[in-house]
Amino acid sequence: MNKASAPGLDEPGYQRADRRRFLGWMGKVGVTTIGVVASLAATSKTAEAANWACCSLALPNTFCKTNSSAQYICPTGYTMKTWTCCSGSAPFQRRYACGECTKGSNCSTGPFICSAGWTVNANGC
């Protein structure tokens, strides 16, 4: 179909409703949808992201103080209980050390006062 045989194409304000226009509209809807989904995913991951690495710390936003040797220290009456975890998939795995200053007998028993975390092996588990 050429321009001469399609009446109205030269008229001002004429909008051609064709496949290209439809795909452009779909592209805008798609980008908006992806943005909304990404936003919801980010919101649902906020709690997970707030926790350090794979540690599942009791107090992920309260890190323990360090001494002059850059070692984590616990306040009087608390002891550091530690464990390790692995995160990522090969070849991008890392092993992390996790710790909690607690009055409990193990890393799962509180009360907790602060948390700690550091990389043990940046190149594998």
pLDDT digits (tens, 9 = 90+) for 33-91: 444 444 433 333 334 445 888 999 999 999 999 999 999 999 999 999 999 999 988 88
Which residues partner with 72 through β-bridges? 66
Average model confidence (pLDDT) across the chain:
75
At residue 51, the pLDDT reads 80
Query: Does the model's pTM come out above 0.75?
Result: no
CA distance 55 to 104: 18
Token pair for 114: 């602060």
- Tell me the chain's radius of gyration from C-alpha atoms: 28
Q: Which of 94, 90, 74, 70 is nearest to 82 (CA)?
A: 74
